[in-house]
Structure formats: C-alpha cells, structure tokens
Structure 1
C-alpha cells in the first residue's frame, strides 16, 4: 500500500491539468496585424479580428450574407511601446486576442524608416507570434486604409493579401520575406535585409485595392528606400529566387516594335568574387530556360537565326533588370542586399578580414560583371505564326 500511495503522489505531481486552457468563445481570432509609429513616436497596432457570427451567416445560403455585414472588425491601439499598445486592447475588447492563426505582419512606412528593431524584439519574445509570419511593408497609404479595403474577392482583406503573397512565391514578381529570414539576415555579417512591399492603390483619395509588388530595401533594421518590380526581379535573379515568372520584351529580333512574352521554366545563378591585390570584383552568371507563350509579330520560329535573336533579346532584358537592381542597392541606397560581402568572406576569408572594416566604403564602387545565357526551349504548339488571308 505504501508503494502504491507513493506512486499516486508522484503521478499527481506530474499532472499539469488545464491551467492554461482558453475557451474558443473567449478568443478574438486575429487575421492581420499591422504595426506603425505616429508623429509623437507612439507605437500603434491595428488588428483585423474575425466576427464569427457574421462569418458563419455570410457563408450560408438564402442571401443572408448581405444583411449580416462584413465578417470582421478593425481595432487600433497605441502605447509607449508595442507591448503596452498590445495590452491596451484589453480595455476595449471583450475577448482575448488570439494570434496563432495570423500569418502576416504589416509594417507601416513610418516605422520601417525609423527602424523595426523594437517591433522585432516584441514579436520574437511573444510565443503567440509565428516566426514564419510574412513581413510586409505597406506603402501608399496607412494601415487603417489597408484593413478597410473594400474591393476583395475574399471575405476579408487579410485573406486576399495572403493569397497575393503565396502567388508571388510562384511567380517571382515581388520579394517574400518572413520573420525568420529577416532576423537571420540581420545576424549575417554585412548582408542587408529586403522585405516584400504592398502598395495601396487609391482613387480620388480613397483606397481601392492593394498590389503586392516590388520590395523595400533595409540597412540593418531601417528601411532606406523602395524597389520597383524590375529592380526587385534583378535582385531575385542574382539570389536564385526566380521560378515560373514571366518575361516580356518590347521589340523583335529585327528591331521592330512588338511584344513577345516568355515564361521562365528553369533558372540558376552564381556569384564569384575575384581578388587582385586589394582590388575586388564579382562575376554574376545567370542561366535560364524559357518557353514562348505569346507574340504580336509574325516570326517563323523554324528559323534558327530567329530563335537565336529571341534568346539574345531575353538576355538583354534580364541583364537590364540586374543592372537596374545593382544601380539601386549599390549606388543609390548603398546596401549589400545581395550578399557580395558574404561571398567574399566564404571564398577569401583572409581578404575579407582586411576589408570588412571598410566594406561600407568599398562596396558602392566594386565592379560587378554580369553575363546572362538564355535558352529558348519551346515556342508552344505553333512554330509558325497564323497567317490571315
């Protein structure tokens, strides 16, 4: 009996019970959270919270969805820091915010330019934030504009934007970055982060819809500028992030003005540092395969010279995107977003030790040689153009 009693005592100590359980009807499910600072340097948090009753009604039949209203509500809070702003939601919400379903953190432009270190510290310490959540810089409007967008295919704006991000991972038109990737880049010597950008499109001063396009360039935790779609693609070419993207050229092999569209089916790149004494340069080589999917001209693609001309046009287009990207990050913003310093450190560690203290001065003037090789694999089901008679 004594042994049995001792066993029960030990087992009772190991049982934790449900001390931390939360009932589902006590939670406010967050589907989108944005963070920014105002002119008084106060921290602002905006959340989009699901309204379960309206969500259920709008998904039912009989046309009741229109009367039910939107299936979400937007709340905002401010405080001296993000932890205080987050806790202040308790003063106006009857439920506890539940963040574990949220997959995007929207960053206001003011916060991005002033530095997001404090925000990163808050979200990485809070166990409810997912480290795989996407980071997105919002430009062209406020977080409140974003949360109240009306033109959406989905029931609520968050789901619309999440779909855009997931599409871009397959089409390579914008940069996709999550918390883990941003923190990892920050902790890598001399490599600077890039974050995807969401542009709010307005009409007559009112937000209409959003476009996930381009990127925001950072120097450490501060945004230094916005990158266009073409500049962003140039960086992604160098970073080996291009897949299933489209490529459009606006002239033909004979120099005539036209539009020819290709889809990239395979791509790879390499960056090789070259050292001559204290002179450093880099060779960037990009190779890709493509299929032609549309043309406005009347080219006979059974002609090998014509195929070579189309490959040359693609090479010229991609090289232009890469050079535009280098001009933006290397000359304009002076940030090593591609990681040239890291490549130098990996291949020539002794040279890097001598140069790393002056890399911020050296990097903007480093020569980068870009070469591109395109291979046109297929021209679709039709090799000869349609000839109207």
Structure 2
C-alpha cells in the first residue's frame, strides 16, 4: 500500500501543468513605460499598450509599422498612481482587463522631477521582477510631461507607435553619438561601482506654440548616485563617449582654416580609442589621457590642396586642438558643476593602483573636483573623399 501511494504521488507530480502560465489573450503588451512624480509625492505610471484588436487583425504586431484594420491609434494609454512603484504597478494591473506583460517593453521613460528625486526603489523593483527586461533603454524626458509624449500626434511621426519612433532615434544616435543612451543593465552596473556616476540619454519634447509636436535626442542626463543632477550638451556627450571608448561614429566640424580664416571643414570620425593612465606627483593625483582618432573628410569650404603633406599635417593639428578643447570642457563641467565621475576615473584608479585607490576612495567626492588631467590627441585623416583637390570654379 505504501509503495502504491508513493507511485501515485510521483505520477501526480509528472502530470501537473504550468501553474503560472498565461494565455496570450489575457495579456496587455506594454510598448513604453513612463514614470513620474505625481501629486502628494505619489509615483505615477503611464503605459502605452497595443490594442488587442490590432493584433488580432494582423496590423503591425509588437514592433510593426504596417497598416491594419484598427481605427484610430493602434495603441491605448493607461495610468495609475501609488505610494511607491510596486503599489502603482499593482494599481495599474487592477484597472486593466488584462495582465500587464512587460517583456516586450524596450524603453523606460523617466520624468525629470522623478529622476531628480531618486530612482533607486524603482530600479530595485525592476531587478527583482523577472518580467522587466534588463536591455530596456532608460531615457530622461524634459521639455514637457509624459502625457504629452504618449499623446504625440500621428501626423508628425513616421512610425505608428511613439515608442517605435524613439527606438529609431536611439539607433540613429549610434551613428551620430549625439546622446549617451544606456540600458537598465548598464545603468545598474555604473550605479553599483562606488563613486562612479551613471549617465544615460535625454529625450526632449519639441513644442510649437505651446503644443508638443515631436521629440529629439538632446545630449545626456548625468546622475550622482541614483539622483539626476544635470545634463550634458551634445558636444560634451561626444567627449564623454570618447573617454569611455563608446564613440562609434561622429561628425566633427572645424570653424577655422589653416591660416586662421573663418571657414567650416567637416569630418566623420570613424574610429576613436582612449587610454587613461593614473599618476601621482607628491600629494596630487592626475590622469594622462591619450586619444587616437581616425577621420574621413566630409566637406570643406576652403580651397586647400590636401595632396600636399604640409596642408594635411596642419589640418590634423587643428583636429587635435578641437578634440582636446572638447574633452577639457566636458571634464570641467563634470568636475566643477556636477562633481560627477561619469568617466569612472575612480574605477580606473582601482584597476591600475589599488593601494592608492584604497586611500582615496572614501574622500573621492572631495578629491575628484581637484584632479588634474593631461590630455593629448593624435588624429589621422585617412581619406579625403573622392577628391583631394578642391573644386576650382571657372
């Protein structure tokens, strides 16, 4: 009898179903999550959800742009509030006829006020919940409310979904380096390194006559611990990406010629590599920053013959100075304005000089603003396009 009971028990275990399974017709597919600080300091969530009718009609799917039979917008916007993110998320679920499904969500929008108040608790919830994608991008939204972002008019968009429009911009910035966009995983990694400041992308709502008409990537958002402290413009963002060896491709424009005249000469940066070496002189800590840049000429207003080696050498010196000035300006802003070690110099010090790192790590907030940098740049113009000689009008 005992053997029979044990056998029945084992068989019952083998034939159990999936206790946590959910049917597709019971899910609400989230295609954009916005978080803001609402009234009475409550956490306010706003989500964009695909309309089930569109999916059933085969009119676009999770990321499609094709047409469908659904009338009007192919998505709906829902909102809810709570004392914290967990409660707001639960309240949002309670107000929907379907369960929120977050695994397709690719962007987390943070309202500026919320980001300045601290985002640690929200990140903690996301890391504990397996439905939140670690590869979802994080963007700080400025220039308007999240409601305006999610209600952008379709007439100003190439894509049918606002989130898809932003995803395209994020992909494009990889070729322009106009914004430093990181995902949840990278943001958490930066946050977990002691004294290193996280950085991510800034999305600005564009308005005309007080009405939101579109969005654009506008530099980057700088954090100190888990709180937003300020923003970097596009040129400073490019400098930081160069220092972190994240620059893939970018445009560089000189505003003067070989003789100091006012002209514009444009280049495409195709490769950049940076070596950072910490050094100590007496009681002072400084970093040697060595940058190697490869470029292609894109356009020039001047009439220099670049087949002449002397002209090319002078041009490369101008590029060196331009990049050096940009790097030094970005470092000045981070040191003096924000006191935020976005580049991770403290981590570089840890790797190269653990003994010194142990001595200064606790007081890095006081030491970092006074750290000196020695920046050297070496550039090479690999190509000048199809023509090295300037056009000579007759």
Q: TM-score, normalised by structure 2?
A: 0.92
Distance change (3 Å), C-alpha of 1:225 and 1:286: same
Aligned residue in 1 for 2:48: 48
SS in 2 for 1:40: helix
Distance change (3 Å), C-alpha of 1:271 and 1:73: same
Partners of 1:22 and 1:231 lie apart in 2 by 47
1:278-310 Cα shifts (integer Å, max 9, x gaps): 211111111011111222222211111211122
Q: Does 1:86 align with 2:89?
A: yes
Distance change (3 Å), C-alpha of 1:254 and 1:122: same
Instruction: Give matches, 1:153-302, under 5 Å.
Output: 153-302=158-307
SS in 1 for 2:258: coil
Distance change (3 Å), C-alpha of 1:15 and 1:251: farther
Structure 1 residue 178, shift from structure 2 partner: 1.2
Partners of 1:114 and 1:308 lie apart in 2 by 50
Q: Does 1:73 align with 2:76?
A: yes
Distance change (3 Å), C-alpha of 1:347 and 1:64: closer
Aligned residue in 2 for 1:383: 388
Structure 1 residue 232, shift from structure 2 partner: 1.0
Partners of 1:100 and 1:279 lie apart in 2 by 49
Q: TM-score, normalised by structure 1?
A: 0.94
Number of equivalent positions: 387
Structure 1: give runs of 5+ residues left out of the alignment. none
Asked if 2 retains the 8 angstrom alpha-carbon contact of 1:182 and 1:193, the reply is: yes
SS in 1 for 2:263: strand
Distance change (3 Å), C-alpha of 1:200 and 1:64: closer
SS in 1 for 2:379: strand
Partners of 2:83 and 2:5 lie apart in 1 by 54
Moved more, 370-379 or 63-72: 63-72
Q: Does 1:95 align with 2:92?
A: no
Asked if 2 retains the 8 angstrom alpha-carbon contact of 1:230 and 1:324, the reply is: no
| RMSD of Structure 2 on Structure 1 (CA) | 2.3
Structure 1 residue 169, shift from structure 2 partner: 2.8
Partners of 1:311 and 1:15 lie apart in 2 by 72
Of 123, 130, 148, which residue of structure 2 is paired with 1:145?
148
Partners of 2:40 and 2:80 lie apart in 1 by 14
